């Protein structure tokens, strides 16, 4: 493979990112491809480089399968609709971005100069795509067991925590509304305050207001996803406060 491990973004840091991921690659070039944005390849035509878009596609499918299987094993008696809600949240960009940042994925991306100048290392869409690509790279290098072990290390604790809040999980808007009703507080108001990115890959930013106060801000690939994440953050903040 011509994609030698010599890029400045990696520059002696392949061991570091593998330590953060918790997986050692037999073929580090797979990891390097997972970290390569199309803007980097476009600036180096003829160099034989490959971007991470095909890996992202595969990683998305692997994530869906493994998360769905894990949720089923954890809650085998739950209806399909409830399991679907949990799966949809756990594989959403709003959730995966936290795991991408936890392994500092942005530091290791190979970006074109334009993306670098516009803050590509911190863009949610780029980070989530790279995280999915890393999942695929681990799968291709270490099989389903390798990918499963990686996801268990990242998502396992979250799934285990679901057992204490399973009845409301996956529909944070309803759970928040019920919590506010029990506290005799006003209804939540969701306001879309920004839309970024191209039409086919737009990110929506939502603010959640309670009693004219902004209590949460979140983003998502759809307004619904952003609202659910904002509701989750508001619910967590509310439950940490004693009832008035």
Q: How many Cβ atoms sit within 10 Å of the Cβ of residue 143?
A: 10
Separation CA 130–CA 124 (nearest Å) = 10
147: Cβ contacts below 8 Å, ≥ 6 apart: 62, 66, 135, 136, 138, 139
Report, as ranges of residue numbers, the positions in the chain whose pLDDT lies below 50.
Answer: 1-6, 11, 167
Q: How many Cβ atoms sit within 10 Å of the Cβ of residue 206?
A: 23
Q: Does domain 14-164 have CATH number 3.60.15.10?
A: no
pLDDT of residue 233: 87
pLDDT tens-digit series, residues 95-138:
898 899 999 999 999 999 999 999 999 998 899 999 999 999 99
What is the SS3 string spanning 180-223? HHHCCCCCCEEEEEEEECCHHHCEEEEEEEECCEEEEEEEECCH
Instruction: Look up the CATH architecture of domain 172-239.
Output: 2-Layer Sandwich (3.30)
Question: Quick check: do 14-164 and 172-239 share a fold?
Answer: no
pLDDT of residue 170: 57
pLDDT of residue 1: 41
pLDDT tens-digit series, residues 41-54:
999 888 889 999 99
Is the pTM higher than 0.75? The answer reads: no
Active site (catalytic) residues: 60, 132
Domain boundaries, the chain: 14-164, 172-239
- DSSP codes joined into one string, 43-73: TTTTS----SHHHHHHHHHHHHHHHHHHHHH
Q: Compute the C-alpha angle 22/30/118, nearest 5°.
A: 90
């Amino acid at each position: 493979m011509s994609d030698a491990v010599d890029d400045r973004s990696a520059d002696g840091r392949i061991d570091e990112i593998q330590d953060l991921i918790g997986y050692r690659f037999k073929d580090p070039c797979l990891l390097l491809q997972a970290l390569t944005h199309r803007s980097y390849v476009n600036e180096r035509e003829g160099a034989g480089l490959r971007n991470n878009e095909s890996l992202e596609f595969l990683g998305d499918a692997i994530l869906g399968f493994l998360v769905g299987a894990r949720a089923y094993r954890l809650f085998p008696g739950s209806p399909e609709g409830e399991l679907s809600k949990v799966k949809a949240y756990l594989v959403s960009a709003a959730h995966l971005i936290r795991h991408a940042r936890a392994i500092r994925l942005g530091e290791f991306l190979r970006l074109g100069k334009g993306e670098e100048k516009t803050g590509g290392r911190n863009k949610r869409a780029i980070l989530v795509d790279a995280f999915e690509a890393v999942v695929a790279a681990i799968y291709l290098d270490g099989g389903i067991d390798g990918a499963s072990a990686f996801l268990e290390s990242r998502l396992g604790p979250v799934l285990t925590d679901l057992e204490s809040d399973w009845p409301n999980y996956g529909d944070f808007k309803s759970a928040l509304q019920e919590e506010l009703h029990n506290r005799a507080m006003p209804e939540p108001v969701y306001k879309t305050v920004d839309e970024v990115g191209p039409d086919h890959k737009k990110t929506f930013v939502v603010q959640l207001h309670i009693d004219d106060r902004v209590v949460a801000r979140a983003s998502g690939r759809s307004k619904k996803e952003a609202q659910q994440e904002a509701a989750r953050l508001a619910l967590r903040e509310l439950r940490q406060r004693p009832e008035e």
